[in-house]
Amino acid sequence: MDFLELVEKRYSQRRYTAQTVKQEDLDYILKCARMAPSAVNKQPWHIYVLQGEILKQMAPIYRRETFKEAPMCLVITGNHNESWRRYDEKDHCDIDIAIVTEHIVLAAAEKGVDTCWVCNFDVQACKNLLQLPAAEEPIVLIPMGYAPKETVVPEKKRKDIEQIVTYLT
């Protein structure tokens, strides 16, 4: 599978079976996460792997079927005390977390593990549940598992290359 095939294969899966993610696949995914680049190599991220009882407590934090069904959820946090700030004070934390997250979902797709980026969740409730310090922000949730057999993979709706690229000389 070349890179284009991999990025075409990954899609946001919002329904899951109860089948657990193989530990060897999770280990591979986390190794790929670790290799993500970050501004000034600060690596301001932490990845919490939630399963079992604590996963049930995530249900009110993102009120979707996804959380009731997915056997695992990663919470990816960014530490604003560790992330790089540019000369104009722009905090690069979100950028770094986006990169590590995309490594995770692409590595998962390679292994046939389904995922979905989730940012529209109750951040404060998540912080409380994980007892995170003030500077550590939960930025993305990634439910992880396997799609039910009957799943129809949605069509990728994307802008055309001409709409998103401008060649300048």
- Which residue of 87, 156, 164, 169 would you call a contact of ligand FMN, by CB under 6 A? 156
> Is there binding between residue 11 and ligand FMN (CB under 6 A)?
yes
Determine which residue in the list 84, 117, 122, 151 makes contact with ligand FMN, applying CB under 6 A. Answer: 117
CA–CA gap between residue 45 and residue 94 (Å, rounded): 10
Size of the site for ligand FMN (CB under 6 A): 10
Q: Are the C-beta atoms of residues 61 and 124 closer than 8 Å to each other?
A: no
Question: At closest approach, how far in Å is the CB of 86 from ligand FMN?
Answer: 21
Q: Which stretch binds ligand FMN (CB under 6 A): 42-50, 71-79, 114-122, 161-169?
A: 114-122
| C-alpha atoms less than 13 angstroms from C-alpha of 84 in its C-beta half-sphere | 13
Cα 81 to Cα 35, 76, 78, 89, 134: the distances in Å are 21, 16, 9, 13, 10
Report the C-alpha gap between 98 and 78 in whole angstroms: 10
Report, in Å, the least distance between residue 150 CB and ligand FMN: 17
Binding site for ligand FMN (CB under 6 A): 11-12, 14, 116-120, 154, 156
